[in-house]
Amino acid sequence: MVTLNATLRTLGLALLLLAPTAWGDNRGGGSGSGSGGSSGLSRPMTLPSTPTSGWPGGRTTPSNPGSNNSGKDGARTDDAAKDGAGPGRNGREDGSTRDGSGRREGDDRNGGPLPRPGADMPEARWQRGDQLVRSNPLAYERDPIGAPVLRAEITMLLPADAELPAALARRGFIAVRESAVLGRRLIVLRTPADLTLARAVALGRRLVPEAEIDFNHVLLGSGRTEPARRAPPPPAPAASAPPPEPVHVGLIDEALVPGGELTLPGEVRPVGARCLSRAVPEGHGQAVALVLARGLQQAGRRPVLHAADLGCGQGAVDAIATALQALDAERVPVVNVSAVGPYNRVMAAVVAAFLARGHLLVAAVGNDGPAAPPLYPAAYPGVIAVTAVDRQGRVLVEAGRGEHVAFAAPGIVELPGPDGTTRTWRGTSLAAPVVAAALALRLRQPDPAAAQAAVAQLARNALDAGEPGRDRIYGHGIVGLPATALAAVH
C-alpha cells in the first residue's frame, strides 16, 4: 500500500507540473504555429481587422460619405495622395506590378458596391452606376470614389498649339481620340496595361504637369419615371401664335427619337456626332426636351432645340466637351444638361471656357439627397444649378442642396406615354429645363454681360421661398410656379 500511494503521489505531481504547459498551448498566443491548439478546450481570439481593400493605396473607406464635403474635394482626396506619393506598395514608381496584375485594382470593391451618397434615395444613381459597370465590364470601370468611367481611358486638355508629349508614348499611353474644344486640344488616352486607372492619372499628371488630366467620367441622368397609368394626358396649355423669330436653346441629353412616344413642339436640330448605337433610349432625353420646348411654347415662342446625343460618347466627359464645342460653334446662348457626375478637372476647364464666351449652362443638381456632396457640372463656378420642388413648392426629398443652388423649379411632371397612358416623371432633371427655357427667353445670343443680366432678372422675378434672399435649398427662388401655389405652404 505504501508503494502504491508513493506511486500515485509521484504521478499526480507530474500531471500538476505538466498542466500549465498544456493549457498555455491550448489558449494560443504563445510561440510556435499560433494555431491556438487542437484540444478544443479554448479558442484563440481573432480581432476584427480594419477594412482597407477596395480603395487605392490601401486607404480606408470614408467614414461619412454623405457629408457636406463637395464632390470636388472628394475627387481630389485621391489626387493629393497620388500626386505627392513616392513609390507604390510594390516598390515601383508608378505603383504598377511587374506582371500587370495591378491593372484593375479596386474594381472588386470587396465583392460588392460600397454604400454611396444617395444610395437610399428613390432614384439610386449609385445603383445605376454599379449596374452600368457590372453589365458591361469591358467598357466601364469605377474611379477611386466609385463613380463610373470608361475603362482604361483618361482625358487630357492641352493648349491648341501644343504637341502630344513624347514622355506619354514612351510610358505606353496611346492617343485614341482627339478633338478641338473651345480653343484647346482634348485627347483621350488609352492607359498602359500595367497600371491601374488611378495610377495612370497620377503618372500622367507627373509627366505632363502643365496639362489638365483626369478620368473619362460617365455622367448619369438625374430623373426617373414612375409606372405608367391608364389616363388621358393632361391638355396642353393654350399658347398664343408664335412670333416669326425662334428661340434657340441647347440640350445635351439622351437621344431624341423621331416619331417617339413624345411629340415635341417646334424644331429639333441635331448637333455633334450622330449615334449609331442600337441601344433604345429610355425616354429621359425626350422628357427633358418636352419640358424645355413647352416652356418656350407657353411664352408664345417657337422652340428650336439644338440637341446633342450624349449616348454617342457613352455619356463620358469627352462627349460632353465636344457637344459644348458644337453648341458654341452654332452660337446657342443657353444649354441644358440634366446629367450629373463627380468633379473632373478636364470638364471644369471646358465648362469655364464655355461660360467665358458668354453662354449660360443650366444643370440639374442631382437626386442624391440633401446630405450628399455637390454634383457636377451643376457645382462648377458660374453654372446655373437647379433643384426641384413639387406642385406646392416643397423641395423634393431626393433633391440636392448646397451653396451652389441658383434656382428651384417644378420637378414632377406628367407626360403622355404610348397607348394613351400618362407617365409621371420626377427629379431635378425635369426642373432644369424650366429654368433653361426662362433664361433662353432673356438671352438671344452668347454675351458675357447679357448673360449675367439675364440671370439677375430671373432672380428678381423668382418666387422667394425658405429663408429671405438666396439660400442653399431654393437658391434665388422658384421659377415656373404660380405664387398662389406657393402661398399655402410657405
Which pLDDT tens digit goes with each residue over 360-382?
Answer: 999 999 999 999 999 999 999 99
Measured CA to CA, the distance from residue 324 to residue 272 in angstroms comes to 9
Here the cell at position 468 is: 429671405
Task: Note the pLDDT tens digit of each residue in 247-260.
Answer: 999 999 987 766 55
pLDDT at 415: 82
- What is the mean predicted confidence (pLDDT) over 97-112? 35
- Please give the pLDDT value at position 349: 98
Burial 44-77 (b: 16+ CB within 10 A, else e): eeeeeeeeeebbbbeeebeeebbeeebbbebbee
For residue 293, what pLDDT band results from cuts at 50, 70 and 90? Answer: very high
Bigger pLDDT: 86 vs 186: 186
3-state secondary structure 165-220: CHHHHHHCCEEEEEEEECCEEEEEEECCCCCCHHHHHHHHHHHCCCCEEEEEEECE
Q: What is the mean pLDDT of residues 430-450?
A: 97
Q: What is the pLDDT of residue 423?
A: 83
Categorize the per-residue pLDDT at 285 as very low, low, confident or very high, splitting at 50, 70 and 90.
confident
pLDDT band of 235, cuts 50, 70, 90: low
Residue of 305, 309, 283 lying closest to 294 (CA atoms): 305
> What count of other Cβ atoms lies within 10 Å of the Cβ of residue 336?
30
d(CA 307, CA 129): 24
Q: What does the block give as the cell for 98?
A: 511587374
Distance separating alpha carbons of residues 362 and 186, to the nearest angstrom? 23
pLDDT at 67: 38
DSSP conformational letter for 400: -
User: Percent of the chain having pLDDT more than 70?
Assistant: 64
Q: What is the mean pLDDT of residues 204-232?
A: 80
Q: In DSSP terms, which residues pair with 39 in a beta bridge?
A: none
CB 219 within 8 A of CB 254: no
How is residue 400 written as a grid cell?
440636392
pLDDT for the residue numbered 346: 98
At residue 434 the predicted structure's pLDDT band, cuts being 50, 70 and 90, is: very high
Q: What does the alpha-carbon distance between residue 338 and residue 347 come to, in Å, rounded to a whole number?
A: 15
CB 270 within 8 A of CB 309: yes
For residue 79, pLDDT over 70 is answered with no
Burial class (CB in 10 A: 0-12, 13-18, 19+), 268: middle
Greater confidence (45 vs 290) lies with 290
Which ranges in 48-103 belong to alpha helices (H)?
71-83
What's the rounded Cα separation, in Å, for the pair 259 and 420? 15
C-beta atoms surrounding 419 within 10 Å: 8
Residues 6 or more apart in contact with residue 35 via CB below 8 angstroms = 28, 44
